[in-house]
Structure 1
Amino acid sequence: MLARLHNDHKHIAILLNILKNKQQRLQHGEAVNFNLIRDIVEYMQSYAEHSHHPLEDLINEFYIQTHPEEALEKQLGEEHHNLIESSTSLMSTLNLILSDVPVQNETLSQALKEYVEAQRNHMMYEEGKLFPIWEAGMTEAQWQEVADRCQEKLICDPLFSDDDNLLFEELKEYLAKADD
């Protein structure tokens, strides 16, 4: 389960690097592919916010229940909530742009910058603090119990899996070209 979360973070980091690049191009007045940016944010909303984060929340809740003596803060849930609000706001701005409503480049650039920073800080918190606590504090049997509970939240990654899912096809093509 933890390996899957680490793997998701590697994939998310790739997408955040693309967003950071697009943000810097916007900041310098260069043209960007708004559809690509929208596809990345849509992926984050459809996969990260509806599968990845709920898995983390479920693991964290399980850990808190099985380790009541530890005062594990509620920061994880708060950050997930804030990231949902941030992606919703960013998507609204992107939809305005894609509907030919004038939006200043600086507005989108700043929103992208804040979104990327929030996502990166969130992953650093998880990788640096939460994941090591979970790994050290849970037995193999507890991980299996968590895995059983997580089955309903597990979905196949629509972007980084090998299935024939046509969702995010343009983004997959972009990533394939970036690897060349």
Structure 2
Amino acid sequence: MSYVNVYLGGDFISVVSDTQITRPDGTILQEEMKKFLVTDQKVLIATAGNADVAKIMFDFFKKNQGLQFHDVVAEVDRFLGEIPVFKDFTISQRVIVAGFEKGIVKATSLGMKINQKSEKVNYESGSIIDLIPEDYNFNIGDYSKRLKTFTPKGIVDLQKKALLKVSRHSKQVNDTICEEVITDGN
């Protein structure tokens, strides 16, 4: 699993993630994989779970630019519903889709495990959304009480500090940081 954090500002979206790919048994497969993609329509797709599933999903959205926020949510929901069932193991995948609709910041998180129905939660401006590793329980909502400013820089600094804290306690998260701030530009 991974650590991904998304903050929905009034007019921006901020994302921070680690880059380590780890098997459920703790074996590190890869040290450097970006866990999010921003499309040409400024839609963020961030994921934690199976790296192969993430790669297939990112490749799809790289080839299918031009999709708006609601279209990306529908495609991710469809994609998660089509993941094949494997007899020997269960795939768990969680995805955050964030973007702008008519200038309003929105996000939807989707999650699934094989043989379980996909869960979907919608978010609006001011929300903090975490995808956290299975081996460490962390609530950035409690941690964010330290936040003094809600500027993009202040938010990113808090997100980075949170990721570094998680990386010290989780074997599934490294301290290499990927970050991006997305604005609507309208």
Q: Shorter-chain-normalised TM-score: which range? A: under 0.3
Q: TM-score, normalised by structure 1?
A: 0.26
Q: Larger Cα Rg: Structure 1 or Structure 2? A: 1
Q: TM-score, normalised by structure 2?
A: 0.25
From the two aligned structures, give the one with the greater strand fraction: 2
From the two aligned structures, give the one with the greater helix fraction: 1
